[in-house]
Structure 1
Amino acid sequence: MSVRRVVPNLHVRPEEQERSRAFYGLLGFEEVMNQGWILTLASPSTPSAQVSFLTHDATGPVVADMSIEVDDVDAAYAAVRASGAEIVHTLRDEEWGVRRFFARDPSGRVVNVLSHRGTG
């Protein structure tokens, strides 16, 4: 299994999304996804360098602290479950094209682990 990217997820109020887009735009980030509840900005020169701003999670119980895209989310889910880590949001296919689950890391942070459907 390999990691494709790691994205910090920042929990924000709705009115903070636009201000965040403007501020991080000053640093060279551009919008790559906006579903209303989640806004993701990326570096045009290094597209895997991203940051997301979430007002809430559309299907998850909490806003995860970070997202980790892996090439095989099913293998990751099996490994995390076998470790005894807390599963916060069970493995599922989401309507926006990802397969994902949430788990709590040893320090208590919630991690969204995902693969884009059709790519792993």
Structure 2
Amino acid sequence: MTETRDFYAELLGFVVGFEHQGWYIQMASPIHPQLQIGIVRRDHAFTPTAFQHPSQGVIISVQVKNVDAAYTDALKRGFPIAQELRDEDFGMRRFMVPDPNGLLVNIFSFP
């Protein structure tokens, strides 16, 4: 829980809005508070039993103003890069990092 909270605070600048010690953390963008992420301990009763296993195939996409600066910051912080910074044919510039739970975070911008 702590590692996941710290990851989103460092990567996206999200801040904790609410924390129920040990099983739930609600985080939000300080600039756009409607952008939120809830972190729930996987084995807590809140999570249905069928979903108490690692997720796969989930990508969280976050658009930023300057993807090059975000990439440089991710490297400085030592985040593992799942996909290097690249330009896509459809105009997106992006890179991907896994969060501590293995969810991919796609950081992107459009020129």
Query: Which structure has greater strand proportion?
Result: 1
Bigger RCO of structures 1 and 2 (CA < 8 A, at least 6 apart): 1
Normalised to the residue count of structure 1, the TM-score between the two structures is 0.43
Normalised to the residue count of structure 2, the TM-score between the two structures is 0.47
